[in-house]
Amino acid sequence: MSRLTESSSWRALAKHYHEVKDVHMRELFDNDPNRFSHYSLELNDILYDYSKNRITETTIGHLLQLAYDVDLPAWIEKLFKGEPINNTEHRAVLHTALREQGNKPIIVNGENILPEIKAERERVKQLAEKIRTRQWRGVTNQAITDVVNIGIGGSHLGPMMVTEALWSHSLHDLNIHFVSNIDENHINDTLENLSPETTLFIIASKTFTTQDTMVNAETARQWYINKLGNDESIERHFTAVTSNVKLAKEFGVAAENIFKMWDWVGGRYSLWSAIGLAIVIAIGSEQFDELLEGAYEADQHFRHTPLEKNIPVIMALLGIWYNNFFGAQSMAILPYDQHLHRFPAYLQQADMESNGKYINRQGQEVDYTTGPVIFGEIGIAGQHAFFQLLHQGTKLVPADILAPVYNFRCIARHHRALMSNVFAQTEALMRGKTRQEAYAELKSEGLDEKQIKQLLPYKVFPGNRPTSSLLFDTLDPKTLGSIIALYEHKIFVQGVIWNINSFDQWGVELGKQLATSILGELNDAEPVCLHDSSTNGLINHYKRRRARENL
């Protein structure tokens, strides 16, 4: 037994689970007419309603006790103060410093990192403004019309998700493209209609060694040289964001166009740094500042609000409740804002790469389950696809619903119809439909008793399916910044409770190593035999088929 599962709060939760597992949320709402106000919180224009969860005051009491038992308040301070809480890599974790609005020094290895952060941000802004105002000129003195961000994982998903989310706030005569896949189709499809004279590349890679990114970057460079016949002007079309300045220079990027990353910011937490260059180019520096400000306000909320009123803490505790006591394996992220269509993919990385771990901070195997499988889709699209399982499947899938009160253009006919779905779904998931209700419905439709008997079981919905709703006024940069930061902190809190390091990613490193070693085996047509029979079989099939095509 671990310290966590032996703790009195954990045991109290296990006991409490047996007492409440069959209680229906209908009953909880009937018993407490003020349930919504008891279980909802606000941060600026964000309303977080968690009343449609299978919790009582006792549940929340035990969960909060659990947070105190693991010393959560002390961990929050460690995070903000830059203690090396990424223990396997001996690094501080300071994405919060990237959006700091004050001047109080943040010390890493004896040095205040704030001046450097600000200086780098200023460089990013200057470059972005030159492109936005068409002062940046390419080799033939034309303005840039297309920016291609080449990166993967943390150097891709954050900038892409935010750029898409803030499309209404972007310059629409400047196209931002994202290339991540090493499959040539991705870069080739992207470059097909672009002109090298008006294209600017951002090679976004913290290490500047990631195979996918470097292969794509090389293809981009070749495309540029092939089209223009020389590489003399490459500097005017390639920028880089990296902590490996040397390799970026060797690639051909001019020193003044290389932007820095630091080892105290992890890839999946880095959109606030120069990795966000594509975002700044899209939305401009003032709105990027608003994004940072929104995140900063969420940071302040997280750092200074008592745990029971602290949105990311409550989000995290609910996750623990379902994951560790109800045995829920997954969690759905369901934005009802079209511009958030990449948010589930972004969160998938943020959450699963952070908390998909089975070894604790002391190097031992955990005896409880950790991070859930995160999946999701635009809510409306999901309704016509996998919501069937949410309503009537045999698995418990807690869901977060995100929706705006109004849109940028706000056509009432669209928006009301959209929101009627949001409200109806959360209500239906919570209430379900009883046998009596289903019977009455079928009767009113004119079915006879025989037909009703046949159909009735299929028309019953158990309900009691938890959802939490995040309603925000509109998806502007500040609100988006806050929402992202709330989720980042939720992930951190869960990592603290599970006693795992949320900030390393050995599973990702493994993929990088394995691909590199097999790459060498694909250079010739010789059959391989050093792997298991399946891997040998797959590699040899691939080689044979390619040889047949003379490839």
- Closer by beta carbon to ligand G6Q, 212 or else 476: 212
Catalytic residue among 164, 197, 297, 353, which? Answer: 353
Does residue 159 bind ligand G6Q (CB under 6 A)? no
Using CB under 6 A as the binding criterion, the count of chain residues that bind ligand G6Q stands at 15
Q: Contact with ligand G6Q (CB under 6 A): which of 159, 266, 379, 495?
A: 266
Q: Is the dihedral of CA 126, 127, 131, 134 positive or negative?
A: positive
Among residues 331 and 491, whose Cβ is nearest to ligand G6Q?
A: 491
Nearest approach, Cβ of residue 213 and ligand G6Q (Å):
5
Q: Which of 96, 149, 155, 383 binds ligand G6Q (CB under 6 A)?
A: 155
Q: With binding defined as CB under 6 A, does residue 273 bind ligand G6Q?
A: no
- Which among 108, 120, 152, 99 has a CA at the least distance from the CA of 267? 152
Q: Is 395 a catalytic residue?
A: no
| Torsion angles phi and psi, residue 521, rounded to 5 | -80, -10
| Radius of gyration over every alpha carbon of the chain, rounded to an integer in angstroms | 26
149 binds ligand G6Q (CB under 6 A): no
User: Which position among 207, 300, 348, 474 is part of the footprint of ligand G6Q (CB under 6 A)?
Assistant: 207
**Does 268 sit near ligand G6Q (CB under 6 A)?**
yes
Binding to ligand G6Q by residue 124, rule CB under 6 A? no
For tokens 């085996």, what's the residue? 521
| 467-472 vs 258-260, strand pairing mode | unpaired
Other beta carbons within 10 Å of 103: 9
Active site residue 90: no
3-state SS, residue 411? coil
Among residues 9, 59, 205, 501, the one that binds ligand G6Q under rule CB under 6 A: 205
Could you say which of 213, 239, 324, 501 contacts ligand G6Q (CB under 6 A)?
213
Contacts for 24-29: CB closer than 8 Å, 24+ residues apart: 24/463, 24/464, 25/52, 25/53, 25/54, 25/430, 25/431, 25/463, 25/464, 25/466, 26/430, 26/431, 26/432, 26/463, 26/464, 28/54, 28/56, 29/430
CB nearer ligand G6Q, residue 216 or residue 287: 216
CA gap 222, 205 in Å, rounded: 19
Site for ligand G6Q in 504-533 (CB under 6 A): 505, 508
- Is residue 210 a contact residue for ligand G6Q (CB under 6 A)? yes
**Residue 154 binds ligand G6Q (CB under 6 A):** yes
Minimum distance from residue 244 beta carbon to ligand G6Q (Å): 8
Which lies closer to ligand G6Q via its Cβ, residue 266 or residue 495?
266
Angle at alpha carbon of residue 536, lines to 531 and 542, rounded to 5°: 145
Nearer Cβ to ligand G6Q (211/407):
211
Q: How many CA atoms lie within 13 A of 519 on its CB side?
A: 10
Q: Is 475 in the site for ligand G6Q (CB under 6 A)?
A: no
Q: Which of 90, 104, 304, 384 is the catalytic position?
A: 384
Q: How far is the CB of 266 from ligand G6Q (least distance, A)?
A: 4
Nearer to ligand G6Q, 270 or 499 (CB): 270
Please tell me whether residue 221 binds ligand G6Q under the rule CB under 6 A. Answer: no
Task: Name the one range near ligand G6Q by CB under 6 A: 68-76, 110-118, 120-128, 206-214.
Answer: 206-214
Number of H helices, E strands in the chain: 23, 13
How far apart CA 551 and CA 546 sit, in angstroms, is: 5
512 is a catalytic site residue:
yes
Q: Which residues pair with 150 in a beta bridge?
A: 179, 203
CA quadruple 521, 527, 531, 532: dihedral, nearest 10: 150
E-state strands within 255-408: 258-260, 330-335, 373-376, 399-404
Q: Which stretch binds ligand G6Q (CB under 6 A): 24-32, 139-147, 169-177, 205-213?
A: 205-213
Q: From the list 4, 76, 128, 152, which residue makes contact with ligand G6Q (rule: CB under 6 A)?
A: 152
The distance of closest approach from Cβ of residue 492 to ligand G6Q in the complex, given in angstroms and rounded to an integer, is 14
**Which of residues 91, 206, 237, 465 is near ligand G6Q by CB under 6 A?**
206
Name the active-site residue from 78, 81, 459, 512.
Answer: 512
Does 355 interact with ligand G6Q (rule: CB under 6 A)?
A: no
Tell whether residue 96 is a contact of ligand G6Q (CB under 6 A): no
Helices 311-320, 57-69: inter-axial angle, 10-degree rounding: 100
Indicate which single residue of 267, 376, 379, 481 sits in contact with ligand G6Q (rule: CB under 6 A).
267
Helices (H), 34-191: 35-38, 57-69, 72-81, 114-132, 157-165, 184-191
Binding site for ligand G6Q (CB under 6 A): 152-155, 205-207, 210, 213, 266-268, 353, 505, 508
Active site residues: 353, 384, 512
